[in-house]
Structure 1
C-alpha cells in the first residue's frame, strides 16, 4: 500500500528572481531558508511550516495573459496565513490585485509577478 504523508515543497518558475523576491519577501514577509544548499542555478527557498516554496529562475513556459482572473480557477498553491486582515491591507497598499474566495471562507487569491497563483487562507 502506498500512502503519501506530507507535502515537502512546491517549485514555482520565476523569470526575474529579484522581482519575485520583492514580492515573496517584501509583500508576503518570507525569509530565505538558511538550510538549503546551493543548487547550481538561480533560485531561493522559503520555509513555510514543515514545507517549503522553491523559486526557480527560468523563463516561464506558461503565458501570463489569458489566465483566469480568479486564481481559484487555475492551478495554485494554498498557504495558511496569520494576520489575514493585515495581508489584505498590505496588498491594497501595494496596489496588488487579488480576489476573495467564492466559498465564503476568509481566503484570497493573488498572483505573483510571474502569474503563479497563491491561495492565502486565514489560519484557524
Structure 2
C-alpha cells in the first residue's frame, strides 16, 4: 500500500538545551540563524536556518516538562519533523494503522511552512518523528 502523501523534506529539528541565551548566541551569532517563532510559556525559541527551523527547547524551563531530556552520550534531539504534501487526516490514520504504527499524538501548530496538522509517531528504534502537512489557512488556501 502506497503512502497517502509525498515527502517534501525536513520542516524542523528540535534540540533540547539547558541554557537558552547560550544556545541563541550560538545559532544566531555563529550560524547566522534569524529569530523565528517564540513560545515563552514552553521555554522554546525557534530560529530560521534557511527555509527550515531549528527549535531550541530549554529543559530547565517549567514549560518543558514534556521534552525528552538529554541522555548521557550526547543524545539531545527531541524529534525530527518531516514535511509532507497535503493529506487527509483519516487517510494518514489508516495508513499508519495498516503498518502497525501507533500515533503518539496529533496537534496543529507552527513550523517552517506555517500552522499545520501533525502526527507524532516513533520509528522502530524509538526516535520521535513529526509528520507535518502544509500550512492550513482559515480561508481554505
Give the TM-score range, shorter chain.
0.3 to 0.5
**TM-score w.r.t. length of structure 1:** 0.43
Greater C-alpha radius of gyration: 2
Give the number of the structure whose residues are more often strand, by fraction.
2
**TM-score w.r.t. length of structure 2:** 0.39
